[in-house]
């Protein structure tokens, strides 16, 4: 099996880099491998890349001509955050990992909810008793331009009760819409290494455009704008991932492994393994996976309130303190 490939599939990322995100301080983690015009490279600005300058030239690991072009538009691979309790009016960071370096244009970050000309991710502060939204938190672009990992920082609005954080639209009584995404307001935008917009609308997987310069993108065919990309106003987390059709909130967070296996009682080993396995024709000998919100590694889950209601899209491992 080759140690690397040249497609967007996760299996084609350099296998000599460890999957564990904790390795980013030594030789670099697999999540820090980015596609460049020259091949697979290590994202700049990391301890493993030799300097802390995100604007430095990426360290080329594997030479593959026009790899970034083969990849098409930069794609979100995963999201992550630090588990714990956010202060009542504290800040909260979400890290979004792409498969290529991305340049962000966004108005300066501010410790409020003003999103004019900013790239941001909209969250809800959800009451733990009834799971109703108490307020919103706009996590605005904060740092990382020029690398494949962008940080979005939000500031919690005060509330007398403790709460959860979730993507906007998932609280009790809310109607989920296109809020599980990075929203680009006004003049904010995102571009790839070659200058093409990350917001361009992509063609269905397996199809090819007429323009060799933008083979995976939908372009205009009018006299005034022929060949120009058609741009969206957000990056929807539901159509990202390796196949441009995966909801990344339902897969493992950056550096995590989804699920976990239910172990047998000590001393039992009928299957030749120490895990409980299935005995159905379709899934014989497959493991049963855990779905515990703190150990499953997935980004979001459904949470019931202590007195009533429930909410979807609740961020795993994090809550907000009361005033």
Q: Using one digit for the tens of pLDDT, what is the confidence trace for 7-27?
A: 666 677 787 777 655 555 446
Confidence of residue 194 (pLDDT cuts 50, 70, 90): confident
Instruction: Inform me whether the pLDDT recorded for 87 exceeds 70.
Output: yes
pLDDT above 50 for 214: no
- Tell which wins on pLDDT, 65 or 112: 112
> Looking at residue 226, what is its pLDDT?
44
pLDDT above 80 for 120: yes
Residues paired with 311 in a beta bridge = 303
Give pLDDT, residue 227: 44
- pLDDT of residue 128 exceeding 60, the answer is yes
Query: Comparing C-alpha atoms, which of 214, 237, 219 is closest to residue 229?
Result: 219
For 96-105, 155-164, 314-323, which range has the lowest pLDDT when averaged over its residues? 96-105
d(CA 5, CA 70): 11
Q: In sequence order, which ranges of 201-283 are alpha helices (DSSP H)? A: none
The pLDDT value recorded for residue 299 is 86
What is the reported pLDDT for 245? 61
Task: Tell me what pLDDT residue 295 has.
Answer: 47
Nearest 10 degrees: Cα torsion 200, 201, 207, 212? -20
Alpha-helical runs (H) found in 246-323: none
Handedness of CA 198, 202, 205, 206 (dihedral sign): negative
Where do we find the tokens 């991710």? 121
pLDDT at residue 14 in the model: 80
Output the pLDDT for position 178: 57
Amino acid 239: pLDDT? 64
The rounded distance, in Å, linking the Cα atoms of 250 and 237 is 10
Question: What percent of the chain is modeled with pLDDT above 90?
Answer: 32
Burial of 308 (0-12, 13-18, 19+ CB in 10 A): exposed
The per-residue pLDDT for 310 is: 93
How far, in Å, CA of 116 to CA of 301, rounded? 30
Q: Collapse the DSSP code of 311 into the 3-class scheme (helix H, G, I; strand E, B; otherwise coil) and give the result.
A: strand
Domain borders along the chain are 1-71, 76-256+300-323, 259-296
Q: Is the pLDDT of residue 122 over 60?
A: yes
Q: How far apart are CA 62 and CA 217, in angstroms?
A: 26
Backbone torsions φ then ψ of 283, nearest 5 degrees: -130, 30
> How far, CA to CA in Å, does 317 sit from each of 154, 159, 245, 279?
17, 20, 26, 33
């Amino acid at each position: 099996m080759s140690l690397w490939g040249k497609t967007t599939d996760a299996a084609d990322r350099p296998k000599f880099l460890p999957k564990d995100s904790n390795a980013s301080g030594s030789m670099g983690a697999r999540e820090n491998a980015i596609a460049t015009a020259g091949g697979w490279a290590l994202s700049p600005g990391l301890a493993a890349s030799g300097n802390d300058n995100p604007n430095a030239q990426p360290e080329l690991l594997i030479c593959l001509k026009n790899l970034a072009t083969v990849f098409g538009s930069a794609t979100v691979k995963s999201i992550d955050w630090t588990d714990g309790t956010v202060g009542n009016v504290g800040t909260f960071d979400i890290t979004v990992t792409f498969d290529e370096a991305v340049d962000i244009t966004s108005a300066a970050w501010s410790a409020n909810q003003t999103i004019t000309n900013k790239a941001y991710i909209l969250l809800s502060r959800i009451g733990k008793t009834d799971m109703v939204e108490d307020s919103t938190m706009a996590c605005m672009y904060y740092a990382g331009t020029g690398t494949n990992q962008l940080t979005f920082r939000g500031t919690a609005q005060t509330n007398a009760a403790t709460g959860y954080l979730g993507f906007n639209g998932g609280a009790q009584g809310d109607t989920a819409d296109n809020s599980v995404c990075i929203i680009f307001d006004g003049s904010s935008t995102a571009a790839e290494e070659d200058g093409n917009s990350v917001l361009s609308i992509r063609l269905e997987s397996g199809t090819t455009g007429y323009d060799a310069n933008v083979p995976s993108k939908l372009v205009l065919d009018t006299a005034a704008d022929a060949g120009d990309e058609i741009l969206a106003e957000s990056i929807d987390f539901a159509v990202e991932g390796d196949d441009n059709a995966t909801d990344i909130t339902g897969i493992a967070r950056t550096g995590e492994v989804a699920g976990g296996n239910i172990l047998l009682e000590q001393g039992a080993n009928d299957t030749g393994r120490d895990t409980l396995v299935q005995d159905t024709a379709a899934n014989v000998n497959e493991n049963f996976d855990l779905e515990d919100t703190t150990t499953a590694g997935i980004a979001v889950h459904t949470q019931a309130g202590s007195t009533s209601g429930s909410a979807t899209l609740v961020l795993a491992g994090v809550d907000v303190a009361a005033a």
